[in-house]
Structure 1
Amino acid sequence: MSYVLDFLLILILNMSVIFQSCFDRTFDTKHYITCIVCLAAAKGAYLVCRNHKFLQDKKLYIYGAIGVVLLIVLIFTSAENMWIEIGSFTLQPSEFVKPLFVLACATSIADQQKKHKILFFNVVYENLAIFGIMAAICLVQVKSHDYGSLPTFIGIYGIGFILRICYPKAKFSKKKLFAVIAIIVVCLLIGLKYAPEYVQHRLHVDIWSDKTGDGYQQSQALIAIANGGWFGVGPGKGFLSNIFAYDNDIVFATVSEEWGLLYALMMVLTIIIITSVPLINPARSYYHGTMSACVCAAFIVQMALNIFGSCNLIPFTGVTIPFISSGGSSLLVSGLMTGMLMAGQSPVFKEHKDNNKKKQEKPEPAWRWQE
């Protein structure tokens, strides 16, 4: 089972290359090279994240790296342009906050037992630090008008928070849990009420009465999905390839039109399997379990935002589907996070050194699980 993710990653990247190449009817060399970089990134993240003790010792550096990336977002990007151009390549620095934030949210049982009393509450300093980082991310995303990525970060933090307060044998009051949930709901309602005007308009827009305005992409995406049916109109024969962001923000609709809803659902199912395998296999440690759950939350939230936005079930957010959408930053980060999933569910065995081999007629190696 340790190698299932490797095969699934190669499978989904091959699907991605086929889809992206057929959209323009020419082999997408740039996307193919990016997929190879994605595979290399997965291997690198796997090697770095295997030892949870090493990552625990580097928590302060992870916090610092998040701060540096957020500063880069504030200084070098704007609401009109979230990308940094480097020659013919573009990078979206906010994407690289995701794997770092996952590592920050991952926790071990030992850390959660280090409680300190502040006024009348027993708190864990690390939990307060994570809350502060989440607040900083929200402020930077709001200032940059990048509201589409906020649900992904909220999903990562939510899963990390739940696993922090629900570690084995934890004593956590249900009243406190309900109070936290109530506070989150109130914050969401306040955020929706006082959201910028263009966000309010997007929440209430009727795409069919505004087909040339804010409802243009969603209305065209729905028409394309209906036009494709179960088996599609054929690779490269769809009209959606003439619409802006057809290969990333509304890629689900583009695949559905040209390849059919059946192939689009197969694509979605493959990504769901990638996220479910690490949750089925026993994690190497509680840290790895939290890390894997946070990565899975990020993938599922991103995919749901893209699909539901394309189908007009939620406001259009402009979020990519992991592995499938074009974009170097998105693919690279998806590879890094897949490597983290691999590291979280891969066992390591060590052979005992037997000093009494001469006394044994048939020595057999003994294996043990390395915590």
Structure 2
Amino acid sequence: MVNIIVEASKYLIIIFFAVYAYLCFSVFSNRKTDEDKAAIFSGQNRLMFFIHFIANVDILIKSENKEIIIFYAYQVILLASILILYRFLYPKASRLVVNNMCMLLVISFIMLSRLSLDKAQKQFFIAVISMIITLFIPFFIHKIKYLKKLTWIYGIGGIFLLAAIAVAGRVSYGAKLSFSIGGISIQPSEFVKIMFVFFVSSMLCQSTELRHLIKTTIMAALHVLFLVISKDLGGALIFFIVYLVMLYVATKRPLYALGGLVSGSFAAVIAYFLFRHVRVRVLAWKDPWAVMKGEGYQITQSLFAIGTGGWFGLGLYQGLPKKIPVVEQDFIFSAISEELGGIFALCLILVCISCFIMFLNIALQMKEQFYKLIALGLGTVYGFQVFLTIGGVTKFIPSTGVTLPLVSYGGSSLFSTLIIFAIIQGLYILRQDEGENNDRSKKEKRKVKRTKRKDEKVRKE
């Protein structure tokens, strides 16, 4: 009977999530009215809570751990609070971004509860603290007008943090990624990504003359250099790509982007010969089956999990995701594919893509160059990180050790991604205000024209 319930619930979860993913894109239609969009967002909320409930029933039945009931109740309170507070405090915020943020958190809590209840509870605690802090960020983005004047604070502050990690960081999987404060592990590069985007945006909105670009490039290169020294090559790659994208959009000169790609390719070759763990990852990517018992063990187990899950998955607790090393962090997408299925995994990718589209949409519609570049930079950070994670676990590219935003286990990654989503909400509200101001100015111009016409008629008479 238990297996029948788990099997039936597996299909319900897939169907509900597929509908949710479809609604993520249907909301972009110009034919939808505000009432239609509100109905779509409410429908997404219901689907999210249905998926959350069904999955936790499965976890309770299979684990027979009554702690799941209390933990589930806490999660519901958190999710409901996020939805209510955003609608109350920021009525102009993007409901799609809020819904997707909550949906990705739901998937994270479900998979982490299945893999390790202790880690799921730690992730939940970090999510609560992070949400309390980030709830104020849209207000500050909307109200503080001198953010673009803090250029060198962003740049020097980021370099200082990365230099501290390079010198005194704790080595993890061959790279210096974090340090501990009071028993809490912090990965500064996750937060420096945001500071880096603000620095580059501030510099490029001031000027795109060659001399100014050289200064910006030197500072960007220092960020990447310290990450390379720390052997955090996944982070270095993200910084590098983000800078190239922002530079190209700000200058509209393909030659700069081409030059950056060529120099980046040379740097990648040098990194291959300098760092052993890079050679190990490339070897595991090229032919993991040849080194299946050694360097290729992680990626082969990941591919086994994805292949075993098929389109519809094995169901929660029916697979063997714990055979994959570091499955809660770098390879959580493989665990999702194995137990919830390929269709669910594809829908997860679609939800991430819809977030990325929203980020770019905001970037395109922002009038002020500084905010436009911030939205573009943060969108690139998010989108490229998703690409690196999923590309690594599916053997599309070598593994980079990057986590899946909002889904993988990791406090710094979770906190920094919630900050990114909060900043995007602040920019979205700014864009809404710009639209309202434009409408008001247009109405005022129309009124002026009407009064002029009336005056002319009176004079003629």
TM-score, scaled relative to structure 2: 0.67
Amino acid at match of 2:240: I
SS in 1 for 2:146: helix
In 1, Cα distance between equivalents of 2:180 and 2:343: 37
Q: 1:64 to 1:107 in 2, by over 3 A?
A: closer
Q: Map 1:93-112 onto structure 2 (within 5 A).
A: 93-107=188-202, 111-112=206-207
Amino acid at match of 1:85: S
Amino acid at match of 1:2: A
User: 8 Å contact 2:309–2:337 — kept in the other structure?
Assistant: yes
Amino acid at match of 2:302: A
What do residues 278-337 of structure 1 show as CA deviations (whole Å, max 9, x unaligned)?
322422522211111111111111111111111111111111011000100000000111
In 2, Cα distance between equivalents of 1:136 and 1:83: 19
In 1, Cα distance between equivalents of 2:436 and 2:249: 33
**Bigger helix fraction:** 2
In 1, Cα distance between equivalents of 2:426 and 2:150: 17
Q: Name the structure 1 match of 2:379.
A: 296
Q: Which moved more, 1:74-83 or 1:254-263?
A: 74-83
In 2, Cα distance between equivalents of 1:22 and 1:15: 11
Q: Map 1:297-312 onto structure 2 (within 5 A).
A: 297-312=380-395
Q: 1:203 to 1:349 in 2, by over 3 A?
A: closer
User: 8 Å contact 1:228–1:260 — kept in the other structure?
Assistant: yes
Q: Name the structure 2 match of 1:128.
A: 214
Q: 1:238 to 1:87 in 2, by over 3 A?
A: farther
Q: 1:41 to 1:159 in 2, by over 3 A?
A: farther
Q: Name the structure 1 match of 2:241.
A: 155
Long gaps (5+) in structure 1: 116-121, 167-173, 353-365
Q: Name the structure 1 match of 2:250.
A: 164
Question: How far does residue 26 in structure 1 lie from its aligned partner after superposition?
Answer: 7.0
Question: How far does residue 15 in structure 1 lie from its aligned partner after superposition?
Answer: 2.1
Check if 1:36 corresponds to 2:128: yes
Amino acid at match of 2:210: V
Check if 1:266 corresponds to 2:347: yes
Query: Aligned pairs, how many?
Result: 337
In 2, Cα distance between equivalents of 1:16 and 1:368: 45
Question: How far does residue 213 in structure 1 lie from its aligned partner after superposition?
Answer: 1.3
Question: How far does residue 186 in structure 1 lie from its aligned partner after superposition?
Answer: 3.0
What do residues 108-148 of structure 1 show as CA deviations (whole Å, max 9, x unaligned)?
88622xx7xxxxxx5353x3332122111121111111111
- Return structure 1 stretches of 4+ with deviation > 4 angstroms: 78-81, 107-110, 349-352, 366-369
Q: 1:89 to 1:109 in 2, by over 3 A?
A: closer
Identical counterparts, % of pairs = 23
Q: Which moved more, 1:241-250 or 1:209-218?
A: 241-250
Q: Name the structure 2 match of 1:188.
A: 264
What do residues 251-287 of structure 1 show as CA deviations (whole Å, max 9, x unaligned)?
1101111111122222222122122113224225222
Q: Name the structure 2 match of 1:68.
A: 160
**Out of 80, 85, 99, which is 2:180 matched to?**
85
User: 8 Å contact 2:162–2:227 — kept in the other structure?
Assistant: no
User: 8 Å contact 2:205–2:369 — kept in the other structure?
Assistant: no
SS in 1 for 2:210: strand
Q: 1:158 to 1:186 in 2, by over 3 A?
A: closer
Amino acid at match of 2:225: L
Amino acid at match of 2:346: L
User: 8 Å contact 1:231–1:260 — kept in the other structure?
Assistant: yes
TM-score, scaled relative to structure 1: 0.82
What do residues 222-243 of structure 1 show as CA deviations (whole Å, max 9, x unaligned)?
0000111122112133212243
Question: How far does residue 79 in structure 1 lie from its aligned partner after superposition?
Answer: 4.4
User: 8 Å contact 2:201–2:374 — kept in the other structure?
Assistant: yes
Amino acid at match of 1:111: Q
SS in 2 for 1:187: helix
Long gaps (5+) in structure 2: 1-91, 443-461
User: 8 Å contact 1:349–1:367 — kept in the other structure?
Assistant: no
Q: Name the structure 1 match of 2:89.
A: none
Amino acid at match of 1:318: G
**Out of 131, 136, 139, which is 2:225 matched to?**
139
Amino acid at match of 1:243: I
User: 8 Å contact 1:233–1:257 — kept in the other structure?
Assistant: yes
SS in 1 for 2:185: strand
In 2, Cα distance between equivalents of 1:211 and 1:12: 32
In 2, Cα distance between equivalents of 1:2 and 1:63: 29
In 2, Cα distance between equivalents of 1:88 and 1:193: 37
In 1, Cα distance between equivalents of 2:137 and 2:143: 11
Q: 1:140 to 1:27 in 2, by over 3 A?
A: closer
Report which structure shows greater RCO (CA 8 Å, sep ≥6). 1
In 2, Cα distance between equivalents of 1:230 and 1:249: 22
Q: Name the structure 1 match of 2:333.
A: 252
Amino acid at match of 2:169: T
